[in-house]
């Protein structure tokens, strides 16, 4: 019985290693970024607003938990998720937090303070409008994320390029924007700019991981 107890304890210690790897707000943000696309340490540090040293430390913790893997490319090291299941784990963690913690909704309202001002379309509504030709879909994430995988038919206009490239958005059509999912503000900011120019706009709340979770294909 003591041997069985030891073996069971070891199993739960291994499960705890994964949980401990994720048990940090900064590491969760890094996972969220890597769900979108593989990145170098420098790129992750810039996106997350952290120092290189701090980013490297968090990545090592994720690596020890076998949640990420690194690949050397020349002088740089690029990180990616170790398995697609990790993206699904991240989505499920968010769903549990949404159901169990009322604070999530309040924090989201504070972060995306204009999210209720624009129409929100579902995945099915988006697909219907794209099929009918009534709408154009714009991916406002950084180009590296678009290249890693994007929704079918989407055109890439990163948020920081939207204003000078406004002429690339065909007139006379509704513009539906999306970004990294419901916890990303990029699409809201894009809709603010587009609506100020008199464009009819809407937002797809879901992003690439939610799209894939629904069993739908991406374009790369």
Which one of the listed residues 30, 154, 162, 179 is annotated catalytic?
179
Please provide the distance, in angstroms rounded to a whole number, between the alpha carbons at the two ends of the chain. Answer: 53
Task: For residue 63, give the nearest of 81, 90, 37, 36 by alpha carbon.
Answer: 81
Q: Is 184 a catalytic residue?
A: no
How many angstroms separate the CA atoms of 184 and 206, rounded?
10
Task: For residue 78, give the nearest of 40, 30, 37 by alpha carbon.
Answer: 40
Q: Residue-wise over 66-105: b if at least 16 C-beta within 10 A, else e?
A: ebbebeeeeeeebbbbbeeebbebbbeebeeeeeeeeeee
Active site residues: 179
């Amino acid at each position: 019985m003591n041997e069985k107890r030891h073996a069971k304890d070891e199993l739960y210690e291994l499960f705890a290693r994964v949980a401990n790897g994720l048990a940090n707000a900064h590491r969760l943000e890094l996972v969220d970024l890597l769900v979108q696309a593989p990145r170098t340490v420098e790129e992750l540090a810039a996106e997350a607003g952290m120092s290189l040293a701090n980013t490297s430390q968090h990545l090592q913790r994720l690596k020890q938990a076998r949640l990420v893997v690194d690949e050397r490319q020349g002088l740089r090291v690029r990180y990616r998720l170790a398995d697609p299941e990790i993206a699904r784990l991240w989505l499920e963690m968010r769903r549990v937090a949404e159901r169990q913690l009322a604070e999530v909704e309040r924090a989201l309202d504070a972060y995306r303070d204009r999210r209720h001002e624009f129409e929100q379309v579902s995945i099915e509504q988006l697909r219907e409008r794209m099929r009918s030709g009534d709408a154009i879909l714009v991916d406002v994430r950084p180009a590296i994320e678009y290249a890693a995988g994007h929704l079918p038919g989407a055109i890439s206009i990163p948020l920081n390029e939207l204003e000078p490239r406004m002429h690339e958005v065909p007139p006379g059509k509704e513009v539906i924007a999306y970004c990294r999912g419901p916890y990303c503000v990029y699409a809201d900011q894009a809709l603010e700019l587009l609506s100020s120019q008199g464009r009819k706009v809407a937002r797809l709340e879901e992003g690439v991981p939610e799209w894939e979770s629904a069993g739908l294909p991406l374009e790369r």
